Structure 1
Amino acid sequence: MSNKYLLEIGVEELPARLINGALAQLKENTEKMLKNERIEYTNTETYATPRRLVLIIRGLSDKQSTLKERVKGPAKRIAYDDKDNPTKALQGFMRGQGISIEQIFIDEHNGEEYVYGNVIKEGKDTFTVLSNNMADIIKSIVFPKSMKWGGKNIRFARPIRWIVSILNDRVLPFEFEGIEVGNLTKGHRFLGSNRIEINSVEEYFSKLEDNFVLVDQNKRWEIIKYGSERLAKEKGGNLLIDEDLLDEVTNIVEYPTPIIGRIEKEYLSLPEDVIITPMKEHLRFFPIVNDKGKLLPYFITVRNGNKEYIEMVVKGNEKVLEARLEDAKFFYHEDIKQPLEDYVEQLKNIVFQEKLGTLYDKTIRIQKLSKKIGDYLEVGEETQRNMERAAYLSKADLVTKMVDEFTELQGRMGMEYAKQAGENEIVSTAIYEQYLPRFAGDELPTTTAGSILSIADKLDTIAGSFAIGIQPTGSQDPYGLRRQALGIINIILDKRLNLALGELIDSALYIYVEELGLVFDYSSIKKEIVDFFNGRIKNMFIDMGIRYDIIDGVISTGIDNIYDLKVRADKLNQYLEEDRLTEVLFTFNRVINLAEKTTSTEVKRDLFVEDAEVELYEAFNDIEEKVLSCLDKKEYDKALELFIGLKEPVDNFFDHVMVMVDDEDLRGNRLNLLGKISETMLLICDLSKLVK
C-alpha cells in the first residue's frame, strides 16, 4: 500500500477560470475508476499551473482485490441432459466464467431452478489497471469550450503537449493520440529547462521548483497573498483583497513574485472606481488603500518569474497602467461635458433586444413599472419622485465613452455622472443599485428607490423574455434570467417588501402590450413566469434550511407574497422541528380530503343532528375570527396554535359522525363544515403537503 502514482498533463496555457473545474473532474473521475477497478488507495491529490494538470495517488495497493461473486447461468432443465451430464449450454457457461463443475450449484429464481457458479477473479496488478485506464481519465475531463489540434481526435481546452506517467520510479505507459507518455516534463517557459527528467514521484515537486515552477497552487496563493500584504504594509497601506482575483492570479502564474508599483498622482483625482476597475478587471492588479479605505498611489501586481530585473518589470507595469488611466481620464472628462440627462435620447439608437425595443424603450418601461411598484408599496411622494427620476436616468451611462470602454462600470458611472450633474444622493445611489445584486452573495440595494428600481429592471427583462419565448431551458440562460429572479427574491426578503408577485407580473406584461403592442398568450406566459419564480423560491428556501414539504405547503396556498411565504415557511419549519404539528397532520389531512367533495362553505346550524358536529361547528366559529386576525398580523404561529386546538373536536367528529350519509342535505352540510375549516386552514398552509 506504499505505491505512488503521478500523472502530469502538460498543456498550452489554460484559462484560469477552467482550472478548478478540471481539477475537480480529474479527482472525482479517478476515484470513481479506482473504486470500480477494486484498487485500494489512501488519497488522491490534484494540483495545477497554467501549463499542467497534476494528479497524485498515494497508498495504492499492489493489485486489484480478489472478486468473489455468484454468477447466474442457464436454467437447470437445459444445463443437464437426461443422464445428468453437462450440456453445451452449461459447458459454455463454465468456460466463459473460467470455472469447473465443482464450483457449480443449483438455486431457485422466480420459481425455476437455475445453475449458478461461484466465480473467483484474481485481481490484476495495479500497473496494468492504471495503464488501461489513464487515457480515459484524461479524456473524461470536460470543458465549456474545447478544441482539436494537429489532426488528433481528442478535444481539450488547450493542446496537450506532453504527459508524465510514473508509478513509484517507473514509467507507466499508455497510448494517447500519439502524444509521448513518459517521464519528461518542462519547467518555467522562460526560466526553466525544457527537458526535465522525473525518475520518481518523490522528486517531482522539488525538480520543478528548481526550474521555477511551484506546482502546488496553495503555496502560490500564500506567496501572492502574504507577499502582497507585506509590500502594502511597507507603504503604510492595506491590500484591497478580492478573493476571486487572488484565485485567478494564482492560476495564471507558475512562479509568483509580488511587486509594487506607483500610480501617478494626476490620476488620483479621478473617481476611485475609474482607477480600480482597469487595475483589477483588465490588468489583474491589486489596489492599496489606507485604514479608511481611501485609495493610495500604489498597486500590487504579480510577476510570473523571479526577482531578476524587477525594476524594469515594475516600470513596464506602471506604463501599462498609465496608458489605461490616461484613456479613462480622457473618457471621464469628455463624458462630464454634458449632464447625464442629455444622454437619455441617445438610448433610442441602442437596441436592447430586437423584439423588445431599444434601451430608451426599456427606460420608459422601467419608469412605469417602478411607479406601479411604488404605488403598491405606498411609498412617500419624495421617494416616488426620486425613484422615477432615477428610472429615467438609469441607462443613460450606457452610451457614455467610459462605460463603452469599461463595461464593468455600468451603474457606477451613472451614479458618478448623476452626482456631477447635481442629482441628489438618493437618485444617484439608485442608479447604481439597479444592478444589485450582480451575483450570488453580492451586496443588495440599501435605498427604497434603488430596491424598487432594481426589481423593475429585472422583472422587465424576465417578463419580456418569456413573452417572446427566450426563457431559460436546461443549462441555457443567455439573459441571466435565473440570476435576475434570485436578485428580485433576495431584495424582497431583505427589505421585507409586501408585494404580490402575480400583480407585479401583470403590470410588467401589460406595460409591454401598452408600449410595444407585444402579442402573446397572456395566461400561459404569466403561469410560466409564476412557475419560474416558484422554482427559484423553492431552491432558495431549501438552501436556507426549510423543509421541501413545508415549501410545497405554503406555495400551494396560492399566496404569491414572497416575504409572506418566507415568514410562513419559517414558522412551520420551527413547528415541525419541535414536533408540534406531527400529531395533527393525519387529522387535518382527513378534513382536506373530504373538503374536496364540497362546492360550498355555507353551513346551516339547524341541520346538525349529532352533538359532535355541533361541538366542532361551535369550536371553529370560536377561533375563525381570531385566526383571520392573526393572519392579518402575520402571527402565523398563533394561527397554527388555534388550529391545533381543533384537533380534539375534529377527531370526535370523525369518531361519531358519518359524513357520507344518504341524506343529501345532511351530507352536504357536513361537507360544507369541513370545507369551511379546510378553506381557512389553507390560508396558513396546505397541511396535506407535509410529510410526517
Structure 2
Amino acid sequence: MKKGMLLEVGTEEIPSLFIPKALDAMKEILKNEMDAQRVDYGEIKAVGTPRRLALFAELEQRQRPLEKERLGPPKNVAFDTQGRPTKAALGFAQREGVRVDDLEIVHTGKGEYLCVRKQEAGRQTREILSEVLPRLIASIPFPKSMRWSDLELRFARPIHWILALFDAEVVPFTMENLTSASFTRGHRFLHPDLIEVKGFKDYLEGLRQASVVVDPEERRELIRRRVREAAQKVGGRPLEDEDLLEEITYLVEYPVAICGRFDNGYLDLPKEVLITAMQQHQRYFPVVDGQGRLLPYFVAVSNIMARDMEVVREGNERVLRARLADAQFFFQEDQKVPLEQRVQELKGVIFQAKLGTSYEKVIRIRELALRLAEELAPEDKEVVARGAYLCKADLVTEMVGEFPHLQGVMGREYALRSGEDPAVAQVIFEHYLPRFAGDALPSTKAGDMVSIADKLDTIIGCFGVGLIPTGASDPFALRRQALGIIHIILDKGYTISLQKMITMALESLMS
C-alpha cells in the first residue's frame, strides 16, 4: 500500500523565473530515483512559492524484491554420467548456501549451466529516502546558484529549513548544518511561526491558514480573480497578460490586489509606453474600458495584507508616477529632433565589433531590401527604401534607451509625428516582426522586404565572423531570425531562391 512522502525546501526568496523549471526538475529527479531504487509510485506533485519548493509523492513502503541469478559450472561438469552431483555442483551449492536440489539448469549461448536464483528482499522506502532526498535537493538545477556562510552546499538561495516526511514520520538526514524535520514556516511577515506537519493535506491547509497559498495553480487563479475584482471596482477590466500573471504567481505567497490611479494627462502618451511602464517595469496590470481603451488606473499585486493598504496603494502610485513622468519627458524631448536626423547618430552605435555600426547595417538593409523588392514587390520600392533607411533611427531616442521593448513602436510613432508616410511608419514597426514564436507577421509587402533583409543581414554577417549559435548560446537570436524569414516567405507565398538571397546578403556585406 502506498504512503505519502512530503519534501519541502525552505529558502530565502528564489527568483520567480527559476521556480517553474525547478519544480518540474524535482518531479523528474524523484521519478528517476524511484525507478532506479525499484520503488513503485503513484501521484507526484510539485508546488512552490518564492520561499519554498515542495514535492509530494505516493510511494510503496518497500522496494520490489530483486531476483538475482548466478551461474555455476557447466552441466556436464556438475553431474557425472549417472546424473549424480560432482564436487563442482556440491561446492557451488555450498558457496551459495542452498541445497543441490535447489539448483536449476539454464540454457546459455555456451551450453547448459547450473544456476541458482535468489530473492533479495526490498529495503524500507523510508531508509531509501534518507539517501535519495539529499541527492535530489543537491541536484535541482538553477540558472545560477550560490554558496552561503562557510558551507559547501550550493542552491538558488540560502536554505533555512527542510521538511521531510514519509507516512507522517520524519525521514532523517542532514545536509551540512541542516537537519530534516517535521515543520514548515508560514508567511515571512504575517505568520513566521513554526507549523507542525503530518501530511500533504495538512501541509496545504496549515500554510493556507498561515497566509501562504503554496499551490501555484491555485495562486494563479486567485491572482486572476482578485485583479479582475479590483479593476471592476473602477469600472474597467485588467489588460491580462499570461506571462505577467505567471511571473507574479512566483513573486508572491499571499496575493493581495490593489487598484491605483495615475494622472489623466499621461493618457496622451502612446498606449504602448504606458503599458510597457506598467507591465515590464512595475509588474502592474493596466486597466482598460469595454472598448479596450486605457483608463488612468492600474492593479498591483502585493505579497502582504498591510494594516493600512492605503499606504501601499500610495507607494505604488508614487513609483509609477515617477516612471511616467520620465516617459513623458523623453517623449517630448525626442520629438524636438525629426526622425530622419537620428539616422546619422547611428554612426556612433556599434552593432557588432566586426560588422560595423548600426548606420552601416541600415545601409546594408536598404540595399538588400530594395533588391528583394525588385524580385517580389516592385510596386513598393519607394516605401521599402524609406522604411529601411529609418528602421533603426529610434534606437538613439531617449524613450527607447529607457524602454528597449519599444523599439519599432516608437519609431513608428515618431515617424508619423515627423510627417512620414503612414506606410513608411508601418514598415519601421513591422520590420521587427515576428519577435517571438506565434507573433504576428508583417501586414505589408514593404514590411516583409525590410524584415527579411534585416534578419538575413544579421544571420549572414554573424556566420561570416564566426558568431555561430551553439546548443547553449545564441546571443543574436539567429535561430529565431531564420524561422522568422521562413514564416514570412511561407505565409505570403513568395517564390525566391534561398541561394540567391544569401548571395545578395553577402554582396551587401562585402560592398
- Per the TM superposition, whether the score is higher than 0.5 is yes
Partner of 1:94: 96
Q: State the one-letter code of the partner of 2:465.
A: I
Partner of 1:574: none
SS in structure 2 of the partner of residue 134 of structure 1: helix
Partner of 2:463: 466
Structure 1, 73-82 or 271-280: larger mean CA deviation = 73-82
SS in structure 1 of the partner of residue 482 of structure 2: helix
Structure 1 pair 100–337 and aligned structure 2 pair: CA distance change class (3 A): farther
Q: State the one-letter code of the partner of 1:84.
A: T
Partner of 1:41: 41
Residue 431 of structure 2 is aligned to residue 440 of structure 1: no
Structure 2, gaps ≥5 residues long: none
Residue 473 of structure 2 is aligned to residue 486 of structure 1: no
Structure 1 pair 191–176 and aligned structure 2 pair: CA distance change class (3 A): same
Structure with the larger RCO, 1 or 2 (CA within 8 Å, 6+ apart): 2
Quick one: distance in 2 between partners of 1:217 and 1:81? Answer: 67
Partner of 1:576: none
Partner of 1:419: 416
Quick one: distance in 2 between partners of 1:91 and 1:16? Answer: 61
Deviation at 1:81, TM superposition (A): 10
Partner of 1:325: 324
Structure 1 pair 100–398 and aligned structure 2 pair: CA distance change class (3 A): farther
Contact residue 164 and residue 184 of structure 1 kept, 8 A:
yes
Deviation at 1:93, TM superposition (A): 7.2
Deviation at 1:87, TM superposition (A): 8.0
Residue 10 of structure 2 is aligned to residue 13 of structure 1: no
Partner of 2:449: 452
Structure 1 residues 71-90: aligned runs within 5 Å: 71-73=69-71, 75-76=73-74, 84-86=86-88, 90=92
Deviation at 1:42, TM superposition (A): 2.5
Contact residue 78 and residue 89 of structure 1 kept, 8 A:
no
Deviation at 1:449, TM superposition (A): 1.2
Deviation at 1:317, TM superposition (A): 0.2
Residue 105 of structure 2 is aligned to residue 106 of structure 1: yes
Quick one: distance in 2 between partners of 1:143 and 1:86? Answer: 57
Contact residue 275 and residue 325 of structure 1 kept, 8 A:
yes
Partner of 1:51: 51
Partner of 1:272: 271
Alpha-carbon displacement from aligned partner over 1:273-304 (angstroms, at most 9, x marks no partner): 11110110111000111122111111011010
Quick one: distance in 2 between partners of 1:512 and 1:94? Answer: 77
The one of 472, 480, 493 equivalent to 1:496 is 493
Structure 1 pair 76–385 and aligned structure 2 pair: CA distance change class (3 A): same
Contact residue 168 and residue 201 of structure 1 kept, 8 A:
no
How many residue pairs align between the two structures? 507
Residue 247 of structure 2 is aligned to residue 248 of structure 1: yes
Structure 1 residues 249-328: aligned runs within 5 Å: 249-306=248-305, 308-328=307-327
Structure 1 residues 265-414: aligned runs within 5 Å: 265-306=264-305, 308-380=307-379, 383-414=380-411
Structure 1 pair 255–102 and aligned structure 2 pair: CA distance change class (3 A): farther
Q: State the one-letter code of the partner of 2:425.
A: S
SS in structure 2 of the partner of residue 153 of structure 1: coil
Structure 1 pair 364–37 and aligned structure 2 pair: CA distance change class (3 A): same
Quick one: distance in 1 between partners of 2:331 and 2:176? Answer: 53
Deviation at 1:158, TM superposition (A): 1.9
Contact residue 384 and residue 450 of structure 2 kept, 8 A:
yes
Structure 1, 254-263 or 138-147: larger mean CA deviation = 138-147
Quick one: distance in 2 between partners of 1:295 and 1:51? Answer: 35
How does the TM-score come out when normalised to structure 1?
Answer: 0.70
Q: State the one-letter code of the partner of 2:180.
A: V
Contact residue 273 and residue 409 of structure 1 kept, 8 A:
yes
Deviation at 1:325, TM superposition (A): 0.5
Contact residue 75 and residue 105 of structure 2 kept, 8 A:
no
Percent identical: 43
Structure 1, gaps ≥5 residues long: 515-692
Structure 1 pair 461–169 and aligned structure 2 pair: CA distance change class (3 A): same
Quick one: distance in 2 between partners of 1:111 and 1:180? Answer: 53
Structure 1 pair 9–395 and aligned structure 2 pair: CA distance change class (3 A): same
Contact residue 162 and residue 180 of structure 2 kept, 8 A:
yes
| Structure of greater Rg | 1
SS in structure 2 of the partner of residue 42 of structure 1: strand
Deviation at 1:306, TM superposition (A): 2.1
Partner of 1:626: none
Residue 75 of structure 2 is aligned to residue 67 of structure 1: no
Deviation at 1:358, TM superposition (A): 0.5
Aligned alpha-carbon RMSD (Å): 2.1
Structure 1, 148-157 or 250-259: larger mean CA deviation = 148-157
Alpha-carbon displacement from aligned partner over 1:412-440 (angstroms, at most 9, x marks no partner): 11111111101111111111111111111
Q: State the one-letter code of the partner of 2:456.
A: L
Partner of 1:565: none
Q: Greater share of strand residues, 1 or 2?
A: 2
SS in structure 1 of the partner of residue 333 of structure 2: helix
Structure 1 residues 159-178: aligned runs within 5 Å: 159-178=158-177
